[in-house]
């Protein structure tokens, strides 16, 4: 039996962005606002990635990340009950309203975007990417562009193109995945469980104590409740570590099933204790498990642990990162918490534009956690604020390339303009 597959032509764009998470949205909006004809391809049914599909609208290291990040926070404050925490450079917002804000920004900017569309392959010619191949309800389709941006998080587009990449630490070990849930039936604002009210470690210790009272031991040593929206009493709940590869569909599937079971068991155990927990229930579990580590596509510059530890600055800087290196335990035997051997605090350091440009393909850029860096550096820049800013810069650079008729490597000296 022969199965024939013919790809139809979807259209030609200046820029195609693969992945509709925060970095992908930033890249697409930035590019379109500068006049580039832009397509954004997303495999889920909404924009925002882990901020929305993953239920974690708890954004880290968001301040000083450029005008577009400031605009997003301002809009989320007005339209999604967003709230800033200046002393921690944190930001929270309502998840459902965040989906709307991102869609509105893309529509207002003239971005074409597709949902429920998987990037399944690529056509390359020497050092250029010519097309991305997609699968959807409409059948196999391909899209041509001058510049492509990999904002898939896991470096899927770079991988499909044949770009070189790294994953994990020196032994190949990766950080665990976590599934986020939303709960209601409990008010934690201003209580011992609220990390904004009590020191974070004390709040987590209090929650862990109550879970232990139910006779349960979570797979993550520091379970966490986070108020995402006081107006809607939206509370995020993270309690699990799932070990395995975020690049293995089997590991992702099995991890999701285990995590969902664990979340429900712990919520049931807390509710059975009565008191503050008597009406606790799960209102949603994430559509996608949170993968902390995927592929890191090799770029013209690789950010290293040394760069982070000494607060390295660059002439082609596009972003300053202030978040610590956050390495979760690489196996359950490591204590179910964090890997102290990698250190946690460091001075602010910068991300250079070169880390957003593939070393193998001259018209392939990266945004978000799949940019070029080593295991330790990635553990710092992978969070919300830097991820969004790398998308903003990649989209701006790509649009500049379209305007000037050049390729991304030739635009490195223009980083200050992005």
* Dihedrals phi, psi of 55, to nearest 5 degrees: 65, 15
Same domain, 158 and 185: no
Q: Residues 44, 154: one domain?
A: yes
CA–CA distance from 196 to each of 58, 88, 192, 283, 349 (Å)?
Answer: 12, 10, 9, 22, 26
- Contact assessment for residue 394 and residue 400, using Cβ atoms and an 8 Å cutoff: no
Boundary of a domain, candidates 285, 303, 335: 285
Residue 146: the pLDDT is 98
Largest Cα separation within the chain, whole Å, is 66
Per the domain annotation, does 102 fall within a domain? yes
> In which element (H, E) is residue 70 found?
helix 67-79
379/326 same-domain check: yes
Shared domain for 301 and 385, answered yes or no, is yes
Same domain, 153 and 97: yes
CA 295 to chain centre: 13
Within-domain flag for 1: no
Is residue 174 in a domain?
no
Q: 281 with 298, same domain? A: no
Alpha helices in 214-303 (DSSP H): 249-272
Q: Which domain-ending residue is among 257, 285, 313?
A: 285
224 is in which domain, residue-wise? 180-285
Domain-embedded: residue 175: no
Q: Mean pLDDT over all residues of the chain?
A: 93
Q: Mark which of 245, 265, 285 sits at the end of a domain.
A: 285
Q: Is residue 158 part of a domain?
A: yes
Half-sphere exposure for 369 (CA within 13 Å, toward CB): 23
Distance CA(225)–CA(101), nearest Å, equals 24
* CATH number for the domain harbouring residue 13: 3.50.50.60
Distances (CA, A) of 226 to 73, 193, 233, 287, 328: 18, 9, 10, 18, 18
Domain match, 259 and 149 both: no
Same domain, 281 and 403: no
Q: For residue range 229-274, what is the model confidence (pLDDT) as tens digits?
A: 888 888 999 999 999 999 999 999 999 999 999 999 999 999 999 9
List, in sequence order, every beta strand (DSSP E) within 19-140. 38-41, 58-60, 83-85, 90-92, 112-114, 118-125, 128-135
CA gap 102, 29 in Å, rounded: 9
Residue 205 lies in a domain: yes
Output the tens digit of pLDDT for each of the chain's 418 residues: 455 578 999 999 999 999 999 999 999 999 999 999 999 999 999 999 999 999 998 899 999 999 999 999 999 999 999 988 877 788 999 999 999 999 999 999 999 999 999 999 999 999 999 999 999 999 999 999 999 999 999 999 999 999 999 999 999 999 999 999 999 999 998 899 988 778 788 999 999 999 999 999 999 999 999 988 888 888 999 999 999 999 999 999 999 999 999 999 999 999 999 999 999 999 999 999 999 999 999 999 999 999 999 999 999 999 999 999 989 988 888 767 777 777 777 899 999 999 999 999 999 999 999 999 999 999 999 999 999 999 999 999 999 999 999 999 999 987 665 6
User: Residue 349 in contact with residue 312, Cβ under 8 Å?
Assistant: yes
Q: Is residue 3 part of a domain?
A: no
pTM (two decimals): 0.96
Q: How many domains does the chain have?
A: 2
**Whether residues 85 and 194 fall in one domain:** no
Residues 49 and 74 in one domain: yes
Question: Is 220 contained in some domain?
Answer: yes
Helix (H) or strand (E) holding 83: strand 83-85
Tell me, yes or no, whether 129 and 219 share the same domain: no
User: Is the same domain home to 329 and 211?
Assistant: no
């Amino acid at each position: 039996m022969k199965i024939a597959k013919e790809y139809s032509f979807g259209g030609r764009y200046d820029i195609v962005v693969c992945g509709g998470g925060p970095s992908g949205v930033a890249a697409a909006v930035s590019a379109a606002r500068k006049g580039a004809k832009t397509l954004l391809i997303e495999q889920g049914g909404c924009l925002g990635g882990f901020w929305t599909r993953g239920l974690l609208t708890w954004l880290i290291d968001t301040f000083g990340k450029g005008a577009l990040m400031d605009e997003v926070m301002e809009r989320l404050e007005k339209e999604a009950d967003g709230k800033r925490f200046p002393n921690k450079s944190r930001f929270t917002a309502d998840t459902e309203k965040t989906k709307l804000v991102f869609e509105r920004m893309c529509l207002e900017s003239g971005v074409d975007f597709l949902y429920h569309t998987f990037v399944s392959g690529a056509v390359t010619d020497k050092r250029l990417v010519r097309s991305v191949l997609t699968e959807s309800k409409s059948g196999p389709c391909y899209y041509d562009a001058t510049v492509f941006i990999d904002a898939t998080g896991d470096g899927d587009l770079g991988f499909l193109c044949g770009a070189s990449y790294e994953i994990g630490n020196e032994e190949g070990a990766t950080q665990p995945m976590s599934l986020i849930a939303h709960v209601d039936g409990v008010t934690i604002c201003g209580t011992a469980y609220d990390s904004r009210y009590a020191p974070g470690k004390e709040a987590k210790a209090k929650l862990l104590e109550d879970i232990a009272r139910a006779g349960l031991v979570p797979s993550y040593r520091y379970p966490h409740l986070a108020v995402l929206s006081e107006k809607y009493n939206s509370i995020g709940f993270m309690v699990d570590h799932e070990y395995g590869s975020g690049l293995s569909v089997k590991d992702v599937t099995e991890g999701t099933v285990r995590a969902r079971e664990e979340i429900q068991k712990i919520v049931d155990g807390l509710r059975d204790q009565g008191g503050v927990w008597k009406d606790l229930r799960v209102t949603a579990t994430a559509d996608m498990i949170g993968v902390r580590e995927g592929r890191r596509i090799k770029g013209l510059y690789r950010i290293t642990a040394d760069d982070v530890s000494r607060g390295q600055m660059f002439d082609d800087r596009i972003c300053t990162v202030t978040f610590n290196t956050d390495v979760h335990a690489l196996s359950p035997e490591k204590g179910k918490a964090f890997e102290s051997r990698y250190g946690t605090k460091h001075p602010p350091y910068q991300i250079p534009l070169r880390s957003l440009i593939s070393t193998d393909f001259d018209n392939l850029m990266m945004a978000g956690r799949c940019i070029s860096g080593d295991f330790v550096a990635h553990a710092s820049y992978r969070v919300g604020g830097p991820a969004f800013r790398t998308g903003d810069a990649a989209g701006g650079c790509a649009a500049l390339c379209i305007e000037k008729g050049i390729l991304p490597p030739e635009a490195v000296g223009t980083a200050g303009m992005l």
